């Protein structure tokens, strides 16, 4: 695409939300977005801004790929909560587009760093998701690389017997007590095993845990849903 178009639209977006970004984040985007775009380097804070201006190419758009996975596995015609949506709710934007076309379902997004609290039909909450967050109004809890909120999401979904699906991040977020006990630097593989262990520990008996992968990332999707009833 035309470089000038990218620069013009990104600068327009950043100017519009300049007061909402913290200075460090704003400087990082301005200093790196053009180089990252040209080199195909993927990082959420820049990709979310590219989604906002509709300039993230489909062939590297992980949000759209995950959207297709979620549509096939669960359907979007329900009340969905996205945890850790980031500064701009890129994934929720795509969910909202689909729901607006079908006239079915709702999408709510949580993140303590949200730069906006109004976008389309998305219900946006500038707050962190934790073990006390109320989720009774939702039928599906999901997230794209929630990082620190991953364990809380799994815990709350299991407690409330809710479907959940998480496209996990590539870093590790073990509780401090775990790190203190083992006194080592955990690997991503250990983190994946730990997440699966936590997901299955208090899983309701009529549920299953699934592990899937989508093109463009080596990080697994961890999902929970009701077991399919076998009709004899």
**Span 116-139, pLDDT tens digits:** 878 999 999 999 999 999 999 999
Distance of CA 196 to the CA centre of its chain: 18
Give yes or no for a contact between 153 and 146, defined as CB atoms under 8 angstroms apart. yes
Superfamily of domain 62-226 in the CATH hierarchy: Vaccinia Virus protein VP39 (3.40.50.150)
Give the percent of the chain with pLDDT over 70.
Answer: 93
pLDDT category of residue 181 using cuts at 50, 70 and 90: low
d(CA 138, CA 177): 31
Buried b (16+ CB within 10 A) or exposed e, 52-84: bbebbeeeebbbbbbbebbeeebebeeebbbbb
What are the sequence ranges of the domains in the chain? Answer: 3-59, 62-226
Would you place residue 183 in the very low, low, confident or very high pLDDT band (cuts 50, 70, 90)? low
Mean pLDDT of the region 54-64? 95
Provide, rounded to the nearest whole percent, the portion of the chain with pLDDT above 90: 80
What is the mean predicted confidence (pLDDT) over 66-89? 96
Q: Mean pLDDT, the chain, as a whole number?
A: 91
Q: In the predicted model, what is the mean pLDDT of residues 37-59? A: 95
What's residue 148's pLDDT? 86
Could you report the per-residue pLDDT of 194-222, keeping only the tens digit for each?
889 989 988 999 999 999 999 989 999 99
At residue 110, does pLDDT exceed 90?
A: yes
pLDDT higher than threshold 70 for residue 177: no
User: What pTM did the predictor assign?
Assistant: 0.91
Distance separating alpha carbons of residues 66 and 108, to the nearest angstrom: 17
What pLDDT is recorded for position 189?
Answer: 86
Confidence band (pLDDT; 50, 70, 90) for 46? very high
Residue 182: its pLDDT value, please? 60
Output the CA angle 173-176-179, nearest 5 degrees. 85
Give the C-alpha separation, 17 to 26, whole Å.
9
* Banded pLDDT at 92 (limits 50, 70, 90): very high
Q: Is it the case that residue 78 has pLDDT exceeding 70?
A: yes
Whether residue 185 is predicted with pLDDT greater than 80 in this model: the reply is no
């Amino acid at each position: 695409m035309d470089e000038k178009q990218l620069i013009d639209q990104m600068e327009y977006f950043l100017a519009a939300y300049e007061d909402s970004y913290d200075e460090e984040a704003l400087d990082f985007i301005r200093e790196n977005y053009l180089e990252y775009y040209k080199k195909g380097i993927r990082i959420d804070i820049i990709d979310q801004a590219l989604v906002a201006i509709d300039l993230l190419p489909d062939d590297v758009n992980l949000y759209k790929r995950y959207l297709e996975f979620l549509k096939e596995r669960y359907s979007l015609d329900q009340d969905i909560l996205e945890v850790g949506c980031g500064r701009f709710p890129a994934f929720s934007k795509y969910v909202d587009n689909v729901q607006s076309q079908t006239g079915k379902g709702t999408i709510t997004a949580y993140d303590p760093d949200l730069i906006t609290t109004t976008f389309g039909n998305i219900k946006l909450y500038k707050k962190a998701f934790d073990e006390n967050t109320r989720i009774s109004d939702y039928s599906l809890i999901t997230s794209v690389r929630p990082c620190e909120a991953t364990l809380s999401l799994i815990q709350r979904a299991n407690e409330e017997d809710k479907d959940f699906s998480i496209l996990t991040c590539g870093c590790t977020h073990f509780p401090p007590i775990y790190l203190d006990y083992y006194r080592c630097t955990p690997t991503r593989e250990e983190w994946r095993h730990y997440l699966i262990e936590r997901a299955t520990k208090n899983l309701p008996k009529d549920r299953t845990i699934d592990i899937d992968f989508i093109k463009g990332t080596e990080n697994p999707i961890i999902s929970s849903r009701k077991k399919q009833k076998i009709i004899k």
